[in-house]
Amino acid sequence: MNDIGIDTGEKFVLLDDVHEFYNEYAKKVGFSVRINSSKKSHTGEIVRKEYICSKEGATTKEVVEKKRRRGKVREGCKAKLAMVKSKSGTYVASVFEEDHNHPLTTPRRFSIMILHLMSGSRLKSNLEFNLKQ
C-alpha cells in the first residue's frame, strides 16, 4: 500500500468499508468524494462502484440566469477509486487514481466545507449532538 492510499488489487469485504475508508482518505488528503456510478447484477447485487473526486467532470453552461454567482465546482479532476466484486465475494480495487488537477484543502477548511454541504436539519442535529458531548 502507498502512504495513505490504496493499491490496485486491495480487497474489502463490504462496500460500506470501502466508502468509510475512501472518505477518511479524502479528508486526510483534502478533497470530497461523490459516487460516480454503480452497476448491479441481474440479481440486484452491486458488482461495480466508482467513487470520484467531487471536482470531476465539467460545469455545464446553463441558460437560466442564476440568482448568485458561485465559484467553479467541476474542474475535470481524474482522481477516483473503482471497486469490482470478485467471484469470491470480496470487493477489489480495480482502479485507484490519486492525482488531482486542482488545489487540495486543509483538514480545517475541509470541516468547514462539510458544514456547508449539510442540509439545515442535518446540520442542526449534528451541532446539537456535538454540544451534548
pLDDT single digits (tens) 29-79: 878 888 888 999 999 999 999 998 877 766 666 655 566 655 556 667 888
pLDDT for the residue numbered 133? 53
pLDDT of 117 reads 54
Which pLDDT score is estimated for 32? 80
The residues facing 97 across adjacent strands are 80
pTM assigned to the model: 0.66
Q: Closest Cα partner for 38 from 98, 88, 90, 85?
A: 85
pLDDT at 92 over 70: yes
The C-alpha cell at 118 is: 449539510
d(CA 14, CA 99): 25
Instruction: Kindly report the number of other CB atoms within 10 A of residue 131's CB atom.
Output: 7
